[in-house]
Amino acid sequence: MNSIDLIRENLRTSEEIVLARVADMRDYCTVAPTPRGGCHTLWILGHLAYIERQVIRDFMLGEQNPLDHWKELFDGTDVSYDANQFPSFDEVLIECRTTRRTSISIINAFVESDLDRTSSRIPKGAEGLFGTYRQCLQYVANHWFMHRGQLADARRAAGLERMWF
């Protein structure tokens, strides 16, 4: 397997595994995952979509992030638990899925050698994370997996069953 196929598989798998954990969280989407707060399901979904668009559109391709209007809501350390401050769960979930489909369509237009292209707008000091297309695409798959644990905590706090895979 070459790396482009591995990245495609990681994008597919991370979406499948992460979104399985949110499918039944609609009614619990702002439940704090721990007694001391943390990132609730709605915030995580918006954060995943926002960051994926930021990494691929802005860092990798040098374009404007189409979700820039979500920056204040989904890119920071302060997480509000007021559902009225956010778009609806369904809207955010749709955007999250749309974002991933867009990312997959972008990578599907590439060949293996395209992955070695230098990213257009690499944040200073983050060359090791976002320096090439390959790094950007793998980062977005890894980023979804990274937030899987927070989603597991949110499910537990909401009283829902643990998911093993």
pTM (predicted TM-score): 0.95
The DSSP string of 11-72 is HHHHHHHHHHTTTT-GGGTT--SBTTB---HHHHHHHHHHHHHIIIIIIIT----TTGGGHH
Q: Is the domain covering 3-157 a CATH 1.20.120.450 domain?
A: yes
Extents of the domains making up the chain: 3-157
Tens of pLDDT along the chain (165 residues)? 899 999 999 999 999 999 998 989 999 999 999 999 899 999 999 999 999 999 999 999 999 999 999 999 999 878 999 999 999 999 999 999 999 999 999 999 999 999 999 999 999 999 999 999 999 999 999 999 999 999 999 999 999 988 876
